[in-house]
Amino acid sequence: MNERETWATRAGFILAAVGSAVGLGNIWQFPFKTAQFGGASFLIVYVIAALGIGLPAILAEFVIGRRSNLNTISAFEKLGHKNWRFVGALGLFTGFWILSYYSVVGGWVLRYIGGSLTGAYFGAPAKYFGQISAGMDALALHAVFMALVVVIVAAGIEDGIEKATKLMVPSIIVILGALAIFAFTLPGASEGYAYFLSPDFDALFANLGDIVPFAVGQAFFSLSLGMGAMITYASYIDGDQSLFGDGITIVFLNSFVGILAGLVVLPLLFAQGIDPNTSGAGAVFISVAGAFANIPGGQAIGLIFFLVVLIAALSSAISLLEVVVSWAIDNYDVTRPQMAILLGGVIFLLGVPSALDTAWLGWFDTLAYKFFLPVGVLGILIFVAWVYGAPALDEVMKGSGLGEGVGLTWLWLARTLVIVAVVATLVLGFQTLFLGESPAIIPPI
Ligand code: TRP
């Protein structure tokens, strides 16, 4: 069996977790979902969901990980609850599931970096997206993206993930900040800010049933919750740092980057008179690319923008692969590089349908954030708050320097309100899944 690795520093853990959280969810989906669901109204619900539901849930994952120092399945056994391994197994499955299409989108991003260099998408952005998003091109770049992920994960926790994310996360923040400043200088940008930052409460209350499941689902996806990514990362913690402190930092930075991305994308679109209210997998690619086509220096700005998206996507994708690799090397006598290559290959194959048909990709995505992730979060919360209970409280308090009351508040929130909110999200999400619009529950053929 291999000697288990640990993070070299506390900052290393935090940055890796932020890297996992900050990804396509923040830059690709968040600004567009915000636009689709009424701008600032959605933003408010999202921030409440991230703090009120996301934070207690991320702490629950940290508790399992740090207490057990094991992967997402074996952790439950180590904590004395073998029967709960199914929650970890669902997480492992979800890891394969999400990374398979996430990597396809990562491939699109690679293609758009090239497209910015050559100016290929400038003439007809929608047509370009149609050509590159599905088919052999998409498949080839899906392979390249997966290979990059495999290389980082194969290098290990300290030498691979920690080193990479220490560089990647600060770069994301600095570059997005610079782009936000650039977007500010565009004529017409102020309409974007008005839309993003001034809430319409009537619209909010009229559409609460639609907004809440999306906002909560988005918070889970964006914080990488519900499949053991945070369990796995926390399992490499060595020492008693404050989990509360880490959790708050991660939730804050994750929301901050989402908002920063909104401050880049929405002014950019409004400045060009492009309606951001177009949903779907291709939104960021078509409308943002269209905006770059019309601004001075668009080629360079486009290149920088898609480069940040790539960095964010990579730093998230490595956490998804790490979940499954960690499970394999904890349990079998195999090396990390072998498993990274093998499991990366399996995930590549699972992503083939998504690379060949964007409808399939949309269906994978919908099922993940409306079903697998909320169910995973629910399982983890019930386990930590109700089944595990007292030792969980002990673990969350360790190294926190806080009064017992804070821990008890967390435990009771996790036992009650948070669980109710997750169940409500699942029910509402289910309604739209079965009764509602496409993508339907039946996969596209
Ligand atoms: N959080 C990432 C994003 O916003 C995606 C991601 C990485 C993820 N690991 C995860 C989502 C685990 C759910 C579960 O893009």
Q: How many angstroms separate the CA atoms of 80 and 83, rounded? A: 9
**Average pLDDT value for residue range 409-415:** 96
Confidence of residue 439 (pLDDT cuts 50, 70, 90): very low
pLDDT at 425: 86
Taking the centre of ligand 1 as the mean of its atom positions, its distance from the CA of residue 22, in whole angstroms, is 8
Which tokens belong to 3? 């000697």
In contact, 347 and 391? CB cutoff 8 Å: no
**Average pLDDT value for residue range 261-266:** 92
Ligand 1 pocket test: pick from 152, 172, 221, 260 the residue with the most ligand atoms within 8 Å of its Cβ.
Answer: 221
**Cα 425 to the center of its chain, rounded Å:** 18
Angle between helices 298-331 and 10-21 (to 10 degrees): 120
Ligand 1 pocket test: pick from 20, 32, 230, 309 the residue with the most ligand atoms within 8 Å of its Cβ.
Answer: 20
pLDDT at 440: 46
Which is the closest atom of ligand 1 to the Cα of 316?
7
Instruction: Name residues contacting ligand 1 (CB within 6 A).
Output: 20-21, 23-26, 98, 221-222, 224, 226-227, 229, 316, 319-320, 373
Taking the centre of ligand 1 as the mean of its atom positions, its distance from the CA of residue 86, in whole angstroms, is 20
Q: What's the CATH class of domain 10-434?
A: mainly alpha
Q: Is 444 left (phi over 0), alpha (psi -120 to 50) or beta?
A: beta
- Tell me the per-residue pLDDT of 121-153, one tens digit each, with 9 for 90 and over: 998 988 999 999 999 999 999 999 999 999 999
Taking the centre of ligand 1 as the mean of its atom positions, its distance from the CA of residue 187, in whole angstroms, is 34
Taking the centre of ligand 1 as the mean of its atom positions, its distance from the CA of residue 349, in whole angstroms, is 20
In contact, 89 and 73? CB cutoff 8 Å: yes
Cα-based torsion angle of the residue sequence 64, 415, 373, 203 in order, rounded to the nearest 10 degrees: -140
Domain ranges, ordered by start, for the chain: 10-434
Q: How many angstroms separate the CA atoms of 440 and 61, rounded? A: 31
- Tell me the per-residue pLDDT of 220-244, one tens digit each, with 9 for 90 and over: 899 999 999 999 999 999 989 999 9
**Residue with CA at minimum distance from ligand 1 atom 12:** 224
Which is the closest atom of ligand 1 to the Cα of 254?
4
> In this model, does residue 370 exceed pLDDT 90?
no
Taking the centre of ligand 1 as the mean of its atom positions, its distance from the CA of residue 320, in whole angstroms, is 7
**Average pLDDT value for residue range 286-291:** 87
Taking the centre of ligand 1 as the mean of its atom positions, its distance from the CA of residue 26, in whole angstroms, is 9
pLDDT at 435: 59
> In this model, does residue 302 exceed pLDDT 90?
yes
> In this model, does residue 175 exceed pLDDT 50?
yes
Which tokens belong to 242? 């404050």
The share of the chain scoring above pLDDT 90, in percent, equals 71
**Residue with CA at minimum distance from ligand 1 atom 8:** 224
Confidence of residue 184 (pLDDT cuts 50, 70, 90): very high
Taking the centre of ligand 1 as the mean of its atom positions, its distance from the CA of residue 138, in whole angstroms, is 21
pLDDT at 434: 65
Q: How many angstroms separate the CA atoms of 362 and 180, rounded? A: 29
- Of the two residues 426 and 37, the one the predictor is more confident about is 426
pLDDT at 349: 98
> In this model, does residue 112 exceed pLDDT 60?
yes
DSSP, collapsed to helix, strand or coil, labels residue 37 as coil
Ligand 1 pocket test: pick from 320, 321, 347, 370 the residue with the most ligand atoms within 8 Å of its Cβ.
Answer: 320
Which is the closest atom of ligand 1 to the Cα of 320?
9
Closest CA to 224 of 14, 10, 363, 22: 22
Alpha-carbon dihedral sign for residues 171, 174, 180, 181: negative
Residues 6+ away with beta carbon under 8 Å from 229 = 20, 61, 95, 319, 320, 322, 323
**Average pLDDT value for residue range 316-341:** 97
**Residue with CA at minimum distance from ligand 1 atom 13:** 224
Confidence of residue 195 (pLDDT cuts 50, 70, 90): confident
Confidence of residue 381 (pLDDT cuts 50, 70, 90): very high
> In this model, does residue 107 exceed pLDDT 70?
yes
In contact, 5 and 236? CB cutoff 8 Å: yes
Ligand 1 pocket test: pick from 220, 224, 321 the residue with the most ligand atoms within 8 Å of its Cβ.
Answer: 224
DSSP string, 268-312: HHHHTT------STTHIIIIIHHHHHHSTTHHHHHHHHHHHHHHH
Alpha helices (H) along 50-162: 55-68, 74-78, 85-118, 125-133, 136-154
DSSP, collapsed to helix, strand or coil, labels residue 23 as coil
Q: How many angstroms separate the CA atoms of 400 and 189, rounded? A: 43
Taking the centre of ligand 1 as the mean of its atom positions, its distance from the CA of residue 258, in whole angstroms, is 13
pLDDT at 288: 87
Taking the centre of ligand 1 as the mean of its atom positions, its distance from the CA of residue 221, in whole angstroms, is 5
- Tell me the per-residue pLDDT of 25-82, one tens digit each, with 9 for 90 and over: 888 888 888 877 778 888 889 999 999 999 999 999 999 999 999 999 999 999 999 9
Q: How many angstroms separate the CA atoms of 35 and 30, rounded? A: 9
Q: Which whole-number Å values give the CA distances from 122 to 185, 305, 400, in the listed order?
A: 21, 15, 52
- Of the two residues 98 and 297, the one the predictor is more confident about is 98
Ligand 1 pocket test: pick from 22, 102, 380 the residue with the most ligand atoms within 8 Å of its Cβ.
Answer: 102
Taking the centre of ligand 1 as the mean of its atom positions, its distance from the CA of residue 23, in whole angstroms, is 7
DSSP string, 188-249: THHHHHHHHHS--HHHHHHTHHHHHHHHHHHHHHHTT-SSSHHHHHHTT--S---HHHHHHH
pLDDT at 77: 97
Query: What's the pTM value of the predicted model, to 2 decimals?
Result: 0.94
Closest CA to 421 of 212, 260, 233: 212
DSSP string, 412-445: HHHHTHHHHHHHHHHHHHHHHHHTSSSS-SSPP-
Least confident segment among 3-7, 410-414, 428-432, 433-437: 433-437
